[in-house]
Amino acid sequence: MTVPANLGSLVNHGSLADPGSLVVGYGNPLRSDDGVGWKAAGRLATDPRFAGVRILQLHQLTPELALDISRADLVVLVDARSGPPAGTVSVERVERVEPAAAGGTTWSHHLGPAALVALARDLYGRAGDVHVVSVGVGRSRSAKTCRRPSKMSWRT
């Protein structure tokens, strides 16, 4: 599968709206911008274009998600990222990595995307095509970004 450069393109191509897709918006909705992934997933869940897509709102990535990632063809993880200007959206493909190089530990209840992909591959023999959508929240966290997930690059 050729993956377009941004999430808006994924929506337009229809890849993200395929029934084999999984969207995970994660972060803490009680911590202002850190909840932007959570809120974005909530909005996508109400969008009729994503009717067949499994959409989850979670506080963090945990080992239990490895099974879901192994079953999905396309996985999109949406999270906040400190540093880039508020509302800036970047999409990065999670490359296949060896578990030792993924960082973190599988005994933790918090994993990074690469460690989660490695875990899915090790436990279930495969991992879907995984992309991380990072939403810039600037240097300080504010409610401004959290209120704007509909204005980010997935609009069509």
Percent of the chain, pLDDT > 70?
Answer: 64
- Residue that is written with structure tokens 């991380």 in the block: 132
Question: What ranges do the domains of the chain cover?
Answer: 7-151
Average pLDDT, the chain: 75
pLDDT per position as a tens digit, 117-151 = 999 999 999 998 999 988 877 665 454 544 554 44
pLDDT per position as a tens digit, 12-54 = 445 566 668 999 999 887 776 677 888 889 988 998 888 889 9
Dist. CA 66–CA 72, nearest whole Å:
10
CATH 3.40.50.1450 fits 7-151, yes or no: yes
- The pairing of strands 21-26 and 74-81 is parallel
Q: What pTM did the predictor assign?
A: 0.74
Beta carbons of 98 and 43 less than 8 angstroms apart: no
Dist. CA 127–CA 68, nearest whole Å:
9
Q: Taking Cα atoms as reference points, which of 113, 83, 92, 112 lies closest to residue 5?
A: 92
